[in-house]
């Protein structure tokens, strides 16, 4: 049972480049989310999804896009990377569509540097 899988683990981008962070879960969870973690700021929610075809914005959505075409996958897209997006990104999932109703499982993270 793989749980929540994130790729890549590390990435370096130049300002203005685009990329997609991948997230997949094999637990048939309804709720999936993306967080960024920055020193002194803690974990902040970027976007979340309560099921295939349903996404919404979190606390810090600007500069990021998401889609959820399947239950398993929830990719995060950076359209034009900026140095302010240098961070560690975590994908998480939980069984119930209501956040906090069940245990939340996290991926290992993607460490992104934007130069």
- Residues engaged in binding other proteins (CB under 8 A): 33, 35, 40-43, 45, 48, 50, 56, 58-59, 90, 92, 98-109
Q: Which of 95, 105, 21 is nearest to 51 (CA)?
A: 95
Which tokens go with 47? 């976007």
Report the residue number, 28 or 103, with the smaller CB distance to other proteins.
103
- Least gap, CB of 108 to other proteins (angstroms): 5
- Nearer Cβ to other proteins (19/50): 50
Cis preceding linkage at 4, omega within 30? no
Q: Which is nearer to other proteins, 59 or 80 (CB)?
A: 59
What is the closest distance, in whole angstroms, from the C-beta atom of residue 2 to other proteins in the complex? Answer: 13
How far apart CA 96 and CA 17 sit, in angstroms, is 35
Q: Nearest distance from residue 38's CB to other proteins, in Å?
A: 10
Of residues 27, 50, 47, 26, the one with CA closest to residue 35: 47
Residue 8: asked if its preceding bond is cis (omega within 30°), the reply is yes
Q: How far is the CB of 78 from other proteins (least distance, A)?
A: 20
């Amino acid at each position: 049972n793989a749980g929540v899988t994130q790729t890549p683990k590390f990435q370096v981008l130049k300002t203005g480049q685009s990329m997609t962070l991948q997230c997949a879960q094999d637990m048939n969870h309804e709720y999936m989310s993306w967080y960024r973690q920055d020193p002194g700021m803690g974990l902040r929610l970027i976007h979340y999804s309560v099921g295939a075809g349903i996404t919404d914005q979190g606390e810090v959505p600007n500069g990021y896009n998401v889609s959820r075409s399947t239950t398993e996958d929830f990719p995060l897209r950076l359209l034009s990377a900026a140095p302010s997006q240098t961070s560690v990104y975590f994908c998480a999932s939980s069984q119930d569509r209501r956040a906090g109703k069940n245990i939340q499982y996290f991926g290992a993270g993607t460490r992104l540097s934007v130069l």
